[in-house]
Structure 1
């Protein structure tokens, strides 16, 4: 897909890539959801079953880490209900390469299945990369670094703008800009984020620090909160912490800070926890678009 196609809306381009004439999309919409498009394709195309051993992972998969616990949970669901949504694949030599659905494929193996339902599409490398990236950015719980790498590939290889990407995946331009900034961090820190040892909030605070790797290791070792990390980074940059921190802040509950950071990382939403008396409290989730709310519901339904 070239840059000229973008201004006419992502829906047309992705519909052309998947090649189903009977898929109904709002062609005036720039926010056509590739996951919905894949699901529509599933129910309007003939389903085939392929042996798991004949399927290989996508070489363009942006995800490098798969949560074992989440896979086992999905595997249990597959044992009970089967694979409800076929994998999207393409023929590659004597195998089938996954375009969308690698988590289902991995979970199906854990569930002991011999074969899984698939939809076979005739796509070239360029088309496969584009669909795989967008599908993952919309549906998968990627780490902040994996997400940034995927966003960067869409911009550098397909001339997507931050505004268009934001509409496609339901994120604000500021969110995308802040996520892309993480790519400027040292490789050691990016790996810590991929391994969920550092949150995106921790990592962003370290941008611009000369001794960022040393600080990152200190944060991991001491279990510092994002707020404490910001103060540590400000000190390293020679910034007067009093000018950036609120006056007379309330005592920080490190456990709550960590829980909020973990929730924000997993849900991709701003989370606020208000601790009350006698162990009671409330959790507030902030979303900016219907797509973010839909993504949250998908995550909750998987639990």
Structure 2
């Protein structure tokens, strides 16, 4: 079955057609080549592209790209980095193998080619996992089996997409690691996740230091939690959300018959001082 081929590498997904045709190389003009719309990889290291471009300038493209023809143009199936680097090197053509895939195999190959790369950043990998599962209707368990990975690896990676976009960008750029990000997922409020990620970067926390911070915070919160706002009071909920966004921490509003309490959480002395400055400003 096609699904089992994923663990065998890309060659297992290629059609078993005419071998002469499969090995036939042609030079394709670079300005006739389009990127793959299903390519989950969005970030390409400028430094690595420069290095590859220098290599291509000296020795040419050593491994042809694989493309599929569409009308008078070609879509990249495998080899977008080589195309980008060749353009950077000033080349006008690139060696390529032209293949024809069904729409399903075309998407499958494009996704799995990226999933199997070791240099994808965690967000790119999360998007690739999610796209593959949605397109081919497989579960996390099935995808894990096909990739010879633990299901927890798939689950923890896809969960990173629940982080706010600004934190995803920090993870994509390498400002924080996947280990940092998984700790941030234990916070329910996006404002808290953003605030903590900025603190992680500012204070250069290791993943271990981040874990210790959260353990300490959980111990402090283990005390009896105050009652929550009634769901039927949209005004109080809206005000609470505004306060959370402004203060960047958890805020609890506890109304009673005549008044109530506003409870503002802080993590440590430094966070307390930050909140005091915000409130007194």
Q: Provide TM-score, normalisation by structure 2.
A: 0.69
Output one character per residue of 1:24-61: Cα deviation in whole Å (capped at 9) or x when no partner: xxxxxxxxxxxxxxxxx99x520111011111111111
SS state at 1:239 partner: helix
User: How is 1:219-238 mapped onto 2 (pairs within 5 angstroms)?
Assistant: 219-236=200-217, 238=218
Does the CA-based 8 Å contact 2:129-2:158 persist in structure 1?
yes
Segments of structure 1 that go 5 or more residues without pairing to the other structure are: 24-40, 242-303
Query: Shift of the alpha carbon at 1:173?
Result: 2.5
Aligned pair in 2 of structure 1 residues 51, 5: CA closer, same or farther (>3 Å)?
closer
Query: Shift of the alpha carbon at 1:18?
Result: 3.0
Number of the residue aligned with 1:182: 160
Query: Take 2:176 and 2:168, find their aligned partners in 1: how far apart are those partners?
Result: 9
Aligned pair in 2 of structure 1 residues 21, 205: CA closer, same or farther (>3 Å)?
same
Number of the residue aligned with 2:219: 239
Structure of larger gyration radius: 2
Output one character per residue of 1:265-300: Cα deviation in whole Å (capped at 9) or x when no partner: xxxxxxxxxxxxxxxxxxxxxxxxxxxxxxxxxxxx
Number of the residue aligned with 1:18: 14
Segments of structure 2 that go 5 or more residues without pairing to the other structure are: 222-281
Number of the residue aligned with 2:266: none
Query: Take 1:104 and 1:56, find their aligned partners in 2: how far apart are those partners?
Result: 13
User: How is 1:236-275 mapped onto 2 (pairs within 5 angstroms)?
Assistant: 236=217, 238-239=218-219
Aligned pair in 2 of structure 1 residues 10, 228: CA closer, same or farther (>3 Å)?
closer
Number of the residue aligned with 1:216: 197
Query: Shift of the alpha carbon at 1:140?
Result: 5.0
Does the CA-based 8 Å contact 2:6-2:147 persist in structure 1?
no
The count of residues paired between Structure 1 and Structure 2 equals 218
Query: Take 2:214 and 2:169, find their aligned partners in 1: how far apart are those partners?
Result: 19
Output one character per residue of 1:150-179: Cα deviation in whole Å (capped at 9) or x when no partner: 011111210234344335444332222221
- Residue 39 (structure 2) pairs with residue 61 (structure 1): yes
Does the CA-based 8 Å contact 1:5-1:13 persist in structure 2?
no
Deviates more, 1:225-234 or 1:51-60: 225-234
Number of the residue aligned with 1:197: 175
Query: Shift of the alpha carbon at 1:5?
Result: 4.6
Structure showing greater relative contact order (alpha-carbon pairs closer than 8 Å, 6 or more residues apart): 1
Q: 1:207 aligns with which of 185, 198, 203?
A: 185
Does the CA-based 8 Å contact 1:17-1:123 persist in structure 2?
no
Q: Provide TM-score, normalisation by structure 1.
A: 0.64
Query: Take 1:83 and 1:15, find their aligned partners in 2: how far apart are those partners?
Result: 20
